[in-house]
Amino acid sequence: MLVLGPCAAESREQVIATAEQLVKSMPSATPFIFRAGAWKPRTSPDTFQGVGAQALDWLREVRERFALPLATEIATPEQLHLALEAGIDYVWLGARTSANPIQVQQLADELCASPHQPKAVMLKNPVNDDWQLWLGNIHRLSLAHIPVIAVHRGCNHHPCWEMAYRLRLAAPDIPLLLDPSHMAGTTERISDLVATAHNLAYDGLMIEVHCRPADALSDAAQQLTPQQTAQLLNTQSPTAKLTNSETHQHAVTNSEALQLRWLRAMMDEVDDELWQVLLKRMRVSREIGDYKHRVGMPVLQPERYSAILQHRLDWAAENNLSPDTVRQIMSALHNESCRWQH
């Protein structure tokens, strides 16, 4: 499943031009849903908030002219009713809405009672890294008999692969899309994320596409042009095959090989975080070095080092880490810190 379109519907011209260019650029046999936000849940009230219900008329025109199914974001019962009355096929709940179970329950109740039904509700992961809340909200919608599609958009421009992995294991029948645009926050990382989505067997993608990304009124840095989008999707096969070495060497089933891919994606992300933390330690260390130079204190402070080593060894004993490993890592860290202080 592909969901493509601008972050926000900004004007009739922008909506129609984006849809038209997408239809012209995408291979004709590739179906996609056209997305555009009418109401934008922005961090600051001083920024563009979306044009509101007016956008629904432009979306209707997209369906009439290009026969595309439509998706828009809703966050209140009123927005839900307006979107469904306008014949929007899919509604999505954004990451900020998805962080609020009372709001999701209210929308599930409204959907249950509504005379118009969407084909499905797309539910983004909450803004906070809480897969159980995401799952709980899927249950809220499922209990109201609403088909749900989960959309993984990460937190603070980090993928948080573990969140999607846990959801996949707990709810294997719920289709899972990747939203590389909000996950990355800039266009540069989108291609790698799309490759990972194929590698991890996601069921589809939601990508932000704008006819003139540089002029976008929201999320300008992360939107691709229709032509870039078509090229990206063209070069990345959605059926990433298991490599021979994975299938033969380990003689594992496809799903086991897939599990290993997820675990490796999670480990790569942990390693990235670990190295970022190490770099942060070195920056703090450099500031301590500046202080030492100012007051004429030697860089090497054996008592301080013994104290932090002992503290870490005590902690390691409680956490099943070998003391030898802890000594080696602490020694390497200490040496590197001293280097940053010279």
CA pair distance 274, 269, nearest whole angstrom: 9
213 touches ligand PEP by CB under 6 A: no
CA pair distance 121, 111, nearest whole angstrom: 10
210 touches ligand PEP by CB under 6 A: no
**Residue 141: strand pairing partners:** none
Helix (H, G, I), strand (E, B) or coil at 70: strand
**Residue 35: strand pairing partners:** 71
- Sole window of 88-96, 102-110, 137-145, 309-317 interacting with ligand PEP (rule: CB under 6 A): 88-96
37 touches ligand PEP by CB under 6 A: yes
Helix (H, G, I), strand (E, B) or coil at 290: helix
182 touches ligand PEP by CB under 6 A: yes
Position among 94, 159, 204, 226 found at the interface with ligand PEP (CB under 6 A): 94
**H or E, element range at 5:** strand 2-5
- Comparing CA positions, the residue from 28, 17, 35 lying closest to residue 122 is 35
Task: Choose the contact partner of 94 out of Mn ion, ligand PEP, none; CB within 5 to 8 A by kind.
Answer: ligand PEP
Q: Minimal CB distance to ligand PEP: which residue? A: 94
Are the C-beta atoms of 233 and 216 separated by less than 8 Å? no
219 touches Mn ion by CB under 5 A: yes
Position among 3, 4, 7, 217 found at the interface with Mn ion (CB under 5 A): 7
CA pair distance 318, 66, nearest whole angstrom: 63
- Sole window of 44-52, 94-102, 159-167, 255-263 interacting with ligand PEP (rule: CB under 6 A): 94-102
124 touches ligand PEP by CB under 6 A: yes
CB of residue 14 to ligand PEP, shortest distance in Å: 15
What is the DSSP code string of 219-252? SGGGPBPHHHHHHHHHHS-S-PPPPHIIIIIH--
95 touches ligand PEP by CB under 6 A: yes
Q: Minimal CB distance to Mn ion: which residue? A: 7
**Binding positions for Mn ion, rule: CB under 5 A:** 7, 219
**Binding positions for ligand PEP, rule: CB under 6 A:** 7, 37, 41, 73, 94-96, 124, 153, 182
